[in-house]
């Protein structure tokens, strides 16, 4: 973050003693930086540089924060339950079940993305992560959900 982006009274994610916590900026410190309150412990902390701040906290104005907040039971929503997102491995199984031939992990990743089953949360090599997960599953032997048909190609156990 930049120093100009920091507002007094704002709530930000900050790195304090190697943990990411939510802090409220209380005042500017005369020695530089800001005086703040760690909202999880309610202790005063000093933020020396804007580099310690990692962005605005996503707390809404209607949702109280800090140790004095009261828990309110949420009402059940009338909308139908949204479908839970699939994990990478479960999405791969679904893609392989729909496929008529064995696939490699790069083909599985692109098929999962195209079908909307799963998208990478920003990793550079999701195919390598999937490959590793499949190999761990194959180590289970007969209980494995995958079958290796040839080098780098997999299908589901029927």
Is residue 146 scored above 80 in pLDDT?
A: yes
* Residue 49 included in any domain: yes
Within this chain, do residues 94 and 146 fall inside the same structural domain, yes or no? Answer: yes
pLDDT per residue as tens digits for the range 19-66: 888 899 999 998 888 999 998 888 998 888 888 888 888 644 444 445
What residues make up the domain containing 31?
10-56
Query: Which of these ranges, 46-50, 114-118, 135-139, has the smallest mean pLDDT?
Result: 46-50
Does the residue 70 lie in any domain? no
**130, 132, 136, 142 alpha-carbon torsion, rounded to 10°:** 60
7-16, 67-76, 84-93: least confident range: 67-76
| 92 lies in the same domain as 51 | no
H/E stretch holding 16 reads strand 11-16
């Amino acid at each position: 973050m930049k120093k100009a982006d920091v507002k007094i009274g704002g709530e930000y994610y900050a790195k304090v003693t190697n943990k990411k916590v939510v802090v409220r900026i209380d005042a500017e410190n005369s020695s530089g930086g800001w005086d703040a309150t760690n909202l999880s412990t309610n202790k005063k902390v000093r933020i020396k540089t804007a580099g310690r701040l990692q962005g605005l906290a996503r707390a809404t104005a209607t949702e109280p924060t800090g140790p004095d907040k009261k828990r309110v039971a949420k009402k059940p929503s009338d909308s139908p339950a949204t479908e839970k997102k699939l994990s990478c491995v479960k999405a791969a199984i679904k893609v392989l079940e729909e496929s008529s031939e064995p696939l490699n992990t790069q083909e599985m990743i692109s098929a999962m993305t195209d079908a909307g089953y799963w998208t990478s949360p920003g990793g550079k090599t999701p195919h390598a992560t999937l490959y590793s997960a499949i190999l761990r599953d194959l180590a289970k032997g007969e209980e494995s959900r995958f079958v290796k048909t040839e080098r780098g190609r997999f299908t589901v156990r029927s």
